[in-house]
Amino acid sequence: MKIEIIKTKDGSHSLLIPEMNETYHSTHGALTESNYVFIDKGLKFYTEKGDIAPTNHINILEVGFGTGLNALLTNIYSNTHKTAVNFFSLETNPIDPKILEQLNYHELIDHPKGHELFQSIHASEWDKLVEINNYFSLKKINLALQEYSGESELFDLVYFDAFAPSRQPEMWDIALFEKIYGLMKKDGVLVTYCAQGQFKRDLKACGFEVEKIPGPPGKAEMTRASK
């Protein structure tokens, strides 16, 4: 599958799959979108709810590892705020390391070890929980959500970052959200860039409480759902 590097409106890179006419991130800003949807409206929201003790860790499930941008930003947040995170990420089509080496996220993120962290994330062994640093451990899992059976502990937070429903409809089947619901702790949170009406109705049918909140640049809305 051919993949091209593109520059989005905030200067950060994303990837384009020409045959699908689909990008890995918003063309309005890859870094902006990830920070807004998954960190600000997801991780920051969850940690500020007050449901976790400072000594506990947060288990995050990501559907769609992609470029590793969400993992990088989560790593930086967890270390900055001294919040321990176990990050589990599903990906069936890992990106060629030669492409990853060209991505410019570390140039735009205000962190002295941004490049080092990004490299550590991609160098970590697949299908094994690896401690990247004191507050962040990562397990990259080479499985589809349909095949995944979960971990020994339930998830506090889910980053749902699959391709759009029009491009990857099998990833937006209600059966998968029923599965995710079962993998989550009570009061757990799911966030995604998608705000499609049918998707939100499916979440409600699974038992989620659904919030409609303003979206990142280029999108009027996004979705946050709680168990």
Mapped to the 3 state alphabet, what secondary structure does 69-137 carry? HHHHHHHHHHHHCCCCEEEEEECCCCCCHHHHCCCCHHHHCCCCCHHHHHHHHHHCCECCCEEEECCEE
Domain-wise residue ranges, the chain = 29-226
- Over range 71-76, report the average pLDDT: 98
Going by the DSSP 8-state scheme, the letter that residue 44 receives in this structure is I
Compute the Cα dihedral for 193, 195, 196, 199 and give only its sign. positive
For 142-188, the pLDDT digits (tens) are 999 999 999 999 999 999 999 999 999 999 999 999 999 999 999 99
d(CA 31, CA 64): 16
Cα-Cα-Cα-Cα torsion 116, 118, 121, 124, nearest 10 degrees, comes to -50
Residue 56 is predicted with a pLDDT of 79
Beta bridge partners of 7: 13
Query: Which CATH code for domain 29-226?
Result: 3.40.50.150
| Distances 221 to 7, 30, 152, 194 between C-alpha atoms, Å | 23, 16, 34, 8
Which pTM does this prediction carry?
A: 0.96
- Over range 49-68, report the average pLDDT: 83
